[in-house]
Each structure stands twice: as C-alpha cells, then as structure tokens.
A = this chain, B = another copy of it.
C-alpha cells in the first residue's frame, strides 16, 4: 500500500508539533557564523540513535550511546567547529557539561539531553565560549532553520525538509550535515530527525535502522565513518494517541515517510559533497542478493576514478565495470548491461557504439544516473555520491590551517 505524503522541502526539525530550536554565534569558529544550537521537545520523547562504527568514538557519541539506553530524550545540544574526539577524559567531561548547561536553559534533566559535535579532531572544546553561548540561545517554534545552519562546516547549504502524512496526521522533520560524505572517513555526518507521531520505542529503533540502510548508508562506503557520525530520532507523540508499533496500521506509512525524508537528506548531502559539481546516482540491479547489490552500488559511486571521470564529462565506462569487478560481488563479465543516463554503453558485456556527444551532454547535467545490471538475480540497490574535483583536494588539504 502506497501511503500519501506531503513533502515539504522548506520544512525543518521544528515542523512537527511541539519541537523548538535555536542557535547562536558562540565564537567557536573563527568566522562569525552560527556554531551552537539546541533542539528540544516541549514534552519528553522516545528516542533512538545510530552511531559511527569507528573504533575511535568522539566523546558526544559515547555520551549519546549511554543515555539512549533509556530509550528517551528531551533535547539535543550541538556545536560545530570542534569534534570533541580524541580528547580523553576531558572530552567526556566537556560533553557532559554541554548537556548540563543546555538542560539548565531548557529546564529538563541533564540525563535527557543528547550531545553532538562536528569539526576538528584532537583539540579540546573551547568551553568558555560554549558556556557563554548556550545561555544566549533562544528557542522558538520556527528555529529549525537556524539549527540547520549552526551544524554546517564545509557544507555550502543546509539540508532540511519535512514530510507530512496525509492520513496519519503526523509530521517528520529532519536536518543533516556532512559535505565530506564523498570520503567520509573524517568529515562528520550528523542527522537529527523529529516527529510528533507517537511511536513505540522498539519500532522506532527498527524504523530508523531501515531508513538509514536505504539512505545514509548508501551515501558512504561500508565502515568508512567518522569518529562523530550520529543519527538521532526523537518522537514526542504530540500528534497521536495510539502508539505506532510494528505491524500497526500506521507503521508502514511511518516507515515510508521516514525513508522518503532520509533519502532526500542523503541525496542533498551527496549533492553538496566537498567541491562537488554533480550528484551521481548508481543503481545496481540483477544482483544475487541485496547485500551484493548494495556493495556493488556503493563501490561504483565511491570509486575516485569513476568520480573523476564524471567530473571530466568523460564517458569512460571501463572504470565503472572495473569498480564493480573489484567490489567483491559476483560478476560475470558477459552478462553485464550498463546504462549512462539511459544510453546503453555495454550490453551482455560487449561495448556498444554510442553517440559520444550525447553522452557528454548527459554528463554535463547536475544529476548523472548510472544503471548497471548484473543479470544474475533480482536484487536492486541505489547509492548516491558526487564527482571528485580539484576543489575537493583544495578544501581537504587546508582544513585545520
């Protein structure tokens, strides 16, 4: 059953009922930019999170993982500029203090406040500026966009939206940052999701994992996560009486709305990849298993040579085939079909004659679509990325200096 939604590209994390947000220029970054924010619910929420699999975890990640064992939260405090990672015991103390200070401003228990940080690794948080800054934050019902800007680092645009269910009456809002996703081994990915739906905590966890698997996890390559990567979902129940649980009437609608929002945010992140000029969407079909389809699509979309060729508008399809060949997925060369923006380049493993100028025109668009069919099974997966440009190197060779 296809549920009906209203997609709101100008929505934010404060679009669902009962959420407030605000941000300030605390002077954490050198430039005069929003760098500290709070997102809070008027009433306690059930909450779930997904975190980096990196063995080196930033202090706020450790704190969130501990606090979310309770399955509830009331607010998130977040800063950009410093990652509070590789900062030892002091870092843990600083993260806890951030939560305590935010709790004081909002008027909730410190234990109910989650923390996120993004920025440079290995330098202690400038706590004086954070202490002063948190007090300056004013929360409001339309503060979502302010929060969206406060979490940006090398992002060039905020990534925000909301989805409203026509039938169920609930809304889900989301904000994400993560311009470095094209090589996400340092650049932090943060995503905060809010909903006024009343959701059972067990279902909330499952729904979040499922949504992330078809969205955020299809932008990065496996395991290639930063020390700080965090996805948080808070549900405050303001728009529903009966909790949505696995198998309940609204469960499928909630999952679809959450997937749609997360895929939108994931694509926006890929599009805003550091130095990127294009969004790349790779769909691998005919795979022997879902895992194989996912791995193949991610391997292609994260191949530096594929990304560089697309930047150069070079229909060098051999790089796509070579990438899938090294992905570890079962591949039979003589069965591969490959399409670029609808143009068939390879059929049953044989290079097809194609109009090079037309292919260059396809590569000149803001979105480049690659479809590869392994013709070995029925599983399909889509991954997103962006092109690799000189600008990416420029950005990443001078980040701390």
Contact = CB atoms under 8 A, between A and B. Distances in A.
Interface string A300-339: 0001110011011111111101111110111101100000
A87 B321 CA distance: 12
Contacts of A351: 86-87, 122-123
Contacts of A186: 305, 318-319, 322
A394 B314 CA distance: 12
A393 B396 contact: no
Nearest to A360: B401
A78 interface: no
A125 to B, nearest CB: 13
A316 B324 CA distance: 33
Copies in the complex: 2
A367 interface: no
A305 B56 contact: no
Nearest to A87: B351
Given A318-B120, A326-B225, A304 B183 contact: yes
Interface in A150-187: 180, 183, 185-187
A390 interface: yes
A203 interface: no
Contact of A121 (B88, B322, B334, B401): B322
Interface in A376-401: 388-390, 392-394, 396-401
B85 A311 contact: no
Contacts of A185: 303-305, 319, 322-323, 326
A223 interface: yes
Contacts of A388: 393, 396-397
Interface string A226-261: 110000000000000000000000000000000000
Nearest to A83: B318
A121 B319 contact: yes
A179 B128 CA distance: 49
Given A120-B318, A122-B351, A390-B390, A308 B225 contact: no
A349 interface: yes
A399 B316 contact: yes
Contacts of A319: 121, 185-186
Contact of A393 (B227, B303, B326, B393): B393
A325 B56 contact: yes
A154 to B, nearest CB: 12
Nearest to A275: B393
Contacts of A26: none
Nearest to A350: B88
B326 A53 contact: yes
A224 interface: yes
A69 interface: no
Pairs of residues from A and B, 9 with the lowest C-beta to C-beta distance, nearest first: A121-B318, A312-B397, A56-B325, A308-B396, A390-B390, A55-B331, A122-B318, A54-B325, A183-B304
13 contacts: A55-B325, A56-B321, A56-B322, A56-B325, A86-B318, A120-B318, A121-B322, A185-B326, A223-B326, A304-B396, A308-B396, A314-B398, A390-B393
Given A53-B326, A55-B333, A183-B305, 14 more contacts: A55-B324, A56-B322, A83-B318, A86-B333, A86-B349, A121-B318, A187-B305, A304-B396, A308-B392, A308-B396, A312-B398, A388-B397, A390-B393, A392-B393
